[in-house]
Structures are given as structure tokens and as C-alpha cells.
Amino acid sequence: MTTESKKPNEPLVTHIYTADPSAHVFNGRIYVYPSHDLEHAGETNDNGDQYAMEDYHVLSMDAPGAPVTDHGQALHLNDIPWASAQLWAPDAASKDGKYYLFFPARDHDGIFRIGVAVSTAPEGPFQPEASYMEGSFSIDPAVYVDDSGLAYMFFGGLWGGQLEKWQEGSFNPEGEGPAPDQAAIGPRAALLSSDMRSFQHEPKEIVILDETGQPLRAGDEERRYFEGPWIHKHEDLYYLSYSTGTTHKLVYAVSGDLYGPYTYQGVILEPVIGWTTHHSIVKFQDKWYLFYHDSSLSGGVNHLRCVKYTELTYNEDGTIVTIKPY
């Protein structure tokens, strides 16, 4: 179905609840890969059980502000042999005429893994692989494809995303994060194989530094990494943007090296209605856009969100102008 044109900071669609938008330009058109929030009466907790998503829809539009098309269900939990629950924030990438949807879900042991599904069209439907990506864990995959065509996945999220449970290299269900005065946990990154279905090496932890060159501390909740990584390149710098989680901001750090270390720079988006904040950044016809979500459509229900967009601008020194969502 196709909806009317949408202005900046308005929900892209209102007939379903959407969140965690991953925006890309494929074939001259903007495609948005969000998660699909569902209404339910289940428990709400820090483990994220309220985010009980079961499928994905793909949205697209000719340009920001143009009518939005919902292409319908692109992938459902029931079609994924290895997955048991919670299709959380996805991402997509294109290579050699195929489109790849990367997504997290709990396996049958309740451990978050990352899967991949393939289509010949950007809107899907997507056919999932029989098993998750070997060596994958946690949530929030974000794939950056460089100018040479190499693809890198950044991923990871704390608390319900289980990232702190992997600090020793294997899953520890009792694992906890570092003490407030210790270095914060960073996202992970790995080069993908040429067929986009596996890691070329063990995922590396990405370090985020403060202005003095020291790693951000776990207690620095205004700046430390929580979830939702995204990579884009502007001029000659890589921008790693992410959610601070508990302080509800989208912030960013920069580096001349894709694997970092990155140096913290500032806030992209101030807190929105709802607990979570999650985003993507895409360039379209020489302008940059931030796609994000809030809970305004549901009147503030944390697990019933809506995807929006707004223009993103840079200062002359390459820093990003902080966006006020309202």
C-alpha cells in the first residue's frame, strides 16, 4: 500500500508501528528497513521482552517527502529455522544484484544471534539461511559497504542485547558489564565474506575515546556506547553513531580508520518520546538525512514506535549540528 506524502518529523506510516529504521538508496530510490512493533499485553522489563516483533516490512519512497510505499511482509519469524523470538533492528545491503537483509533474533536457547536472508529485489521477500551467521552474537547489525565493495558489519547492544555477556569470548548468562570507572564496552565489527553470509575474522571490539584520548568509561552514560551502531563516511572521516540507551541520546564519534579507535564528538539527536532511540544516516541527492523513531504515534508506549526522518547538516569543521526532534 502507498500512503500520502510525509513531511520531516512526521511518521512515515501510521497503519503499522515501526522502529529502528535502516535507510539505503538502491536504484535511485530510498528503501527503509524497520522493525515492526506489535501490540500485546506482555511484560515490560530491562530485558526488552516488550519488544516482541515477529516480522519485517520494507518501506520505500522516491525521495524524502514523497509518498511512502509499504511493500508488505518481507520476512516472518516462522520462516527462520534457527530463530525462536524477537526480530529486532535489521539492516540491508546490496551486492552483485542481490539484496541481503541482516537481522538479530533469539535462537532456540534464547541467545541473540544474527541471521541473513537474501532476495533479488530490495523490497523482498527475503529467503533466510538455514542457520545464523557463525560466530555472530548480540543485536543491531549495521553493514557498511566501502568504495571498493567490501562490506563490514558493526553490531552489539547491552542489557537485552546481551553484549556484556560475551566479554570472555563465549556466552556467559551471568555476565555483567564493567564497573563505572572501567572502560566501557564497545560495539563489534567484522569484515564480511564475499557472499555476505559469514565473517572473515573474529569480530573486533571498537574503542571510543574521550577528548583526552582515554577510552570512555562505563559510567559515562551521556557518551558511552549502548546499542544501535551506524557507520557513514563524510569527507575523509568515518562517523560511528549510536544510542546511549539510558540517557536516550543519539551521539557520534569519528575516526580516520574504519576499525577505529573513534573519538567522541557530540550529540546528533536529543531524546525523543519513548525509552529507545535508534537511527540511520543516508545521503540522497547531495543532502544527508537522519531516519529515527519515537513513540509519539502511540502516545508514548515504549514498544509501539513510529519511524520518521529529518535533514542532517554539518558545520564547516565536519561536526554534526544537533537536531531537536520537536
Please list the active-site residues. 20, 227
CA distance linking residue 205 with residue 257, whole number of Å: 14
Sequence-distant contacts of 105-109: CB under 8 A, at least 24 apart: 105/77, 105/80, 105/132, 107/82, 107/83, 107/132, 108/82, 108/84
Cell of 119: 532476495
CA distance linking residue 308 with residue 297, whole number of Å: 11
- Asked whether the bond before 125 is cis by omega within 30 degrees of 0, the reply is yes
The sheet that has 188-191: what strands, in order across it?
A: 142-145, 151-155, 188-191, 204-205
Q: Is the Cβ–Cβ distance between 20 and 2 less than 8 Å?
A: no
| φ, ψ for residue 164, nearest 5 deg | -70, -15
CA distance linking residue 188 with residue 206, whole number of Å: 6
DSSP state string for 214-248: PBPBTT-TTTS--EEEEEEEETTEEEEEEE-GGG-
Q: Is the Cβ–Cβ distance between 21 and 34 less than 8 Å?
A: yes
For residue 32, which amino acid is it? Answer: V
CA distance linking residue 93 with residue 285, whole number of Å: 19
Between the alpha carbon of residue 131 and those of residues 103, 115, 136, 197, the distances in Å are 12, 7, 11, 10
